[in-house]
Amino acid sequence: MTTINLFEDAAGDDASRVLPASPRTVEETGLDFLFLTELLCKIMFLRGRISLADISNHVKLPVSVLESVLDFMRAEHLCELASRGDNSASTFFQLSDTGRLRAGDYMRRCQYAGPAPVSLDAYSAQVQRQSIRNVRYTREIMAAGFDGFIIRSTVLDQLGAAMNSGRAMIIYGQPGTGKTFIAENLTRLMHDFVAIPYAITVDNEVIQMYDPHVHELMPHKAAAANLGRKHLVDARWLACKRPIAISGGELTLDTLDLDFDDGTRFYQAPPHVKANNGLFVIDDLGRQLVSPQDLMNRWIVPLDRRRDYLTLHTGYKFQIPFDVIVVFSSNIDPSELADEAFLRRLGYKIHIGALSEDQYRQVFRQVCDQFDIPFIEDALQHLLHEYHYKQGRPLLACYPRDLLGQVRDLALYESRPPALSAQMLDWAWNNYFTTNRQLAIKPSPQAGAGVAGV
């Protein structure tokens, strides 16, 4: 197994290292010859008269691969030479009358006319080569990824070990402890690049894989450095940061299956497949339209065997890699979410609790700095002793931002700089927890009438 060092790869990855080699023949594309014929017919149908260079750029295959397909299309009277240039790339083609009729049939069967897909075998092999299980996260990497975030060292150690395991984890605790932020912040650990195909083909059906909402392309400068070697890599693949997909309450069992569009007649991959070689975060587990038990049952096999099974609308069932770290975030104790059989497949169960007083002070000061509110220790002590301790409210990570946000909002309303005081925190607490107390804020000297009787 090849181990990936994140610090080295963050600086050294380029397209020639990440992407597969360019195919030199139709056979090396892994695609059926007639599939490519149909794809070129649809592209010409949509774009009309087009140069060989533009066809190559559109379909992401070398001219040397396309020439044999175009020769076949000309022999079958599907296309014809529109004009011949000084070289093959500047030669223009267009569909014949027969080709346009045939292309219409192809479009009714499937409207996909984008970059040529890669085969399922090629995709599976590439996912294996760049497996998330090959990445190693050290204490230094974890500390850098959570720099500026107040988190217990024991929790950070658990997260680091969980990431190295490549197994699913659940981050749980009461609302407001920062679970979602911790789960999403794991994306800052993703420094290296992986190859993502535009699409894959299964049984001559097209499944779109690349999603700009999930896949972040290699920075422009790094990609531009490889333009001179473009012919060395397979342009059907994109160099992207390790992906992360996030689903919340909208998640259903149908979401985890292929999404077939009856209009376009091709598929979108489900989110956990788009997240292969990366992270799939399921936020607020327990609030989905599907029950946690049904969701867990759906994933018992993928989590255990690292592969999933999907079904085309034709009934054809196939196996696909499940190389993804699933991160569940929930307000519910794991024992209430699933049975022991599933809980065994959750490698790590990480509890996020309330902060210590010192940690709470650090978060409070950070938020004061972000909101340009001068920190006053006496005001914080008032908040701690008059509200948190007297009312038994735990020191949750969400409170400083929520309470100080109200202090800032009132200052904006009164057209004055925000200031911290016991009185302002009384007012913010009353708003936040909807108590029955009616607090009046005296008008500030800078603010005209101010606020009376909130």
Dist. CA 230–CA 435, nearest whole Å: 65
Question: What pLDDT, on the 0 to 100 scale, is given for residue 195?
Answer: 97
How confident is the model at residue 449, as a pLDDT? 36
Provide the pLDDT for residue 447: 39
DSSP letter, residue 204 = T
The secondary structure of 260-283 as a DSSP string is: E-TTT--EE--HHHHTTTEEEEET
- Cα separation, 59 vs 112, whole angstroms: 11
Mean per-residue pLDDT over the chain, rounded: 88
pLDDT of res. 78? 97
Q: Report pLDDT for 14.
A: 62
pLDDT digits (tens, 9 = 90+) for 189-246: 888 899 999 999 999 999 999 999 999 998 755 444 444 445 689 999 999 999 999 9
In angstroms, the CA 307 to CA 324 distance is 10
pLDDT score for 435: 60
Q: Which pLDDT score is estimated for 142?
A: 94
Supply the pLDDT for residue 418.
96
User: Which 8-state DSSP code applies to residue 217?
Assistant: B
Cα distances (Å, whole numbers) of residue 271 to 131, 209, 210, 241, 334: 17, 9, 11, 16, 23
The predicted structure's pLDDT at residue 300 = 83
**Can you list the residues of the chain whose pLDDT is less than 50?**
1, 5-13, 222-229, 443-454
pTM: predicted TM-score of the whole model, two decimal places? 0.85
What pLDDT shows up at residue 381? Answer: 97
Looking at residue 100, its pLDDT comes to: 97
